[in-house]
């Protein structure tokens, strides 16, 4: 007699949230996340249906007070942010990350939130570290992260290190400019997320 069938956990939709961060160095802790932006990209249903949203409709953006004095001038220059101004005017990380967590949970009502990034490794490292350091938890859990670079490599059957945005079909890329403003780039990245998830090579 076969073993009893175990009931499967009911699958929930995934809500993809595109996140971009700007920082003043390569790793969190010694260096600071200076700003981050997020845009809701779309919702993936358990039956495989993907529902893209207008990423400008639901967004979040904060500029943060640095957590230390060290910074890499080249990294700071990429963001275009004034670190001295952020020391005076930037949001306290604990406050900003708590507000972000509440925003994610409200946006993802009825679904599981997933952070999407290109590549996700850098942005996820800072975001996850900051969430745990300043709020004690992550609304994405420890693994709710979609790397759009890896997704493209898998769909296109290419080695990961051969992938760059310049190698992608033009129809996958956003028509928006990449400005290195965290919210602008999160919205642009959400377009890429939506296009990739709908793409059938």
Q: Are 70 and 83 in contact (CB under 8 A)?
A: no
Q: Are 113 and 104 in contact (CB under 8 A)?
A: yes
**Distances 176 to 2, 91, 144, 168 between C-alpha atoms, Å:** 56, 28, 26, 16
3 state DSSP class of 69: coil
Q: Which pair of tokens denotes residue 140?
A: 């994405």
Mind telling me the catalytic residues?
180
Residue with tokens 């160095």: 25
Q: What is the C-alpha R_g of the chain?
A: 18
């Amino acid at each position: 007699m076969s073993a009893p069938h175990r009931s499967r956990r009911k699958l929930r939709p995934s809500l993809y949230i595109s996140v971009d961060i700007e920082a003043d160095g390569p790793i969190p802790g010694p260096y600071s996340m200076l700003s981050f932006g997020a845009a809701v990209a779309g919702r993936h249903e358990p039956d495989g249906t993907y529902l893209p949203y207008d990423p400008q409709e639901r967004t979040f953006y904060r500029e943060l007070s640095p957590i230390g004095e060290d910074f890499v001038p080249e990294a700071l220059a990429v963001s275009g942010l004034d670190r001295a101004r952020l020391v005076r005017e930037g949001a306290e990380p604990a406050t900003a990350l708590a507000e972000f967590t509440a925003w994610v949970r409200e946006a993802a009502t009825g679904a599981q939130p997933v952070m999407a990034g290109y590549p996700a490794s850098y942005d996820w490292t800072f975001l996850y570290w900051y969430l745990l350091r300043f709020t004690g938890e992550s609304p994405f859990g420890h693994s709710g992260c979609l790397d759009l670079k890896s997704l493209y490599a898998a769909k296109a059957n290419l080695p990961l290190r051969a992938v760059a945005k310049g190698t992608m079909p033009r129809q996958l890329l956003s028509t928006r400019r990449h400005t290195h403003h965290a919210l602008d780039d999160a919205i642009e990245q959400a377009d890429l997320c939506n296009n990739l998830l709908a793409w059938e090579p």
